[in-house]
Structure 1
C-alpha cells in the first residue's frame, strides 16, 4: 500500500496593504477580496482601513493602509509571486522607490520564520518602525511575535503614531 503524501501545513502570515493612487480605498478593499481568493490561502482577517502621510518623496497623496492575516500553504516566494501578480493586476508601476502606487503588498511576517533572500526579507525590515503597519497589526493580532524585535506593544510605544488615523 502506497503512503499518501504529507499534507503541507498551514502557516499564518501577515500582509501590509497600501495605496495612494486611483481611489485608494477601492484599491485596498479589492485587494483584500483578491487575497482571500488566492489558491492555497484561507481564513483571511483584516484590520480597519487607516489614512497615513506618505513615506518617501514629497508631494504624494496620503495613503490608505491595512494589514491582513491569512493562513497559507504557499511557500514564502510563492506567496510573494502571488502578491506581486495582484499588484500588477492593479497596474502597479515601480518607477520611484517609496513613490506613489496603486497597490503595495508587503509580506510582513510568515509564521515565525526569518527569511533573507534577494527578493524577500521577513520580518519586513521596516515593520517595527512604521505606525501604518504596527497599529493595524495590533488591531488584528495584538499578541503576535515579531522575530528579532521586542513585543508588538513595545514596538508601538517606540513608534510615533504621527497623523495616522483609522477611517
Structure 2
C-alpha cells in the first residue's frame, strides 16, 4: 500500500512534454505515466495535445506537445532526475542540440523557485518565447503566471506568429 505524503507545503511544478520521433502520442503517454509512477508528485492537470513545427535545430518532423501540472514536495534536482530517467527509458539521445527526439521533458517552473544552475535553470529560460509551451499551459491553467514574465495568456500575444494546432483527436489518458 502506497503511503500518502502530506502535500500541504507542496509547490506547483509545470512540465512541458514534446515528441517528434517514433510513436509520438505513445511517447507523450509514456512520459506522463512515468512522471507519476513513483511517489512525490500529485497530478493536477494535463493540457490537450498540440502539433507544432520545430523551433531551432536541424530540419525534423513536427512535434506533439502537452503541458502537465503537478503538486510536489520534491526538490528541483529530484524532479529533474525523474524527467531525465523518463527520457532515458524512452531512448532520448542528446547528440544534436535541439535535434529530433522521441521525448523531451522540460521543467518550466517549480513553485516560486529561481535557479541559474546550468543543469536546471528556473523558470525555463525560453518558455516565454514558445507557443508550444504557452498555449497548452494556458489551456490547463488560464490564470497561470510565468515568473519574471507575467501572465501566460498575455505572453501568447508575443508568439501569435508561431503555429500550434490543437489535436483533440489525440487525447492523453490520466495515469493510474
Report deviation, 1:152: 1.4
TM-score by length of 2: 0.87
Q: Specify the alignment match of 1:155 in structure 2.
A: 155
The range that moved more, 153-162 or 10-19, is 153-162
Report deviation, 1:19: 0.5
Between structure 1 and structure 2, the one with the greater Rg is 1
Distance 2:54 2:129 in 1: 14
Report deviation, 1:8: 8.0
Distance 1:154 1:44 in 2: 23
May I ask how many residue pairs the two structures share in their alignment? 162
**Structure 1 gap segments, 5+ residues each:** 1-5
Is 1:72 equivalent to 2:72 in the alignment?
yes
**Structure 2 gap segments, 5+ residues each:** 1-5, 168-176
Partner SS for 1:156: helix
TM-score by length of 1: 0.91
CA contact (8 A) 2:58 2:99 kept: no
Is 1:90 equivalent to 2:90 in the alignment?
yes
Q: Specify the alignment match of 1:3 in structure 2.
A: none
Structure 2 CA distance for partners of 1:57 and 1:35, relative to 1, 3 Å: same
Report deviation, 1:109: 0.7
Partner SS for 2:38: coil
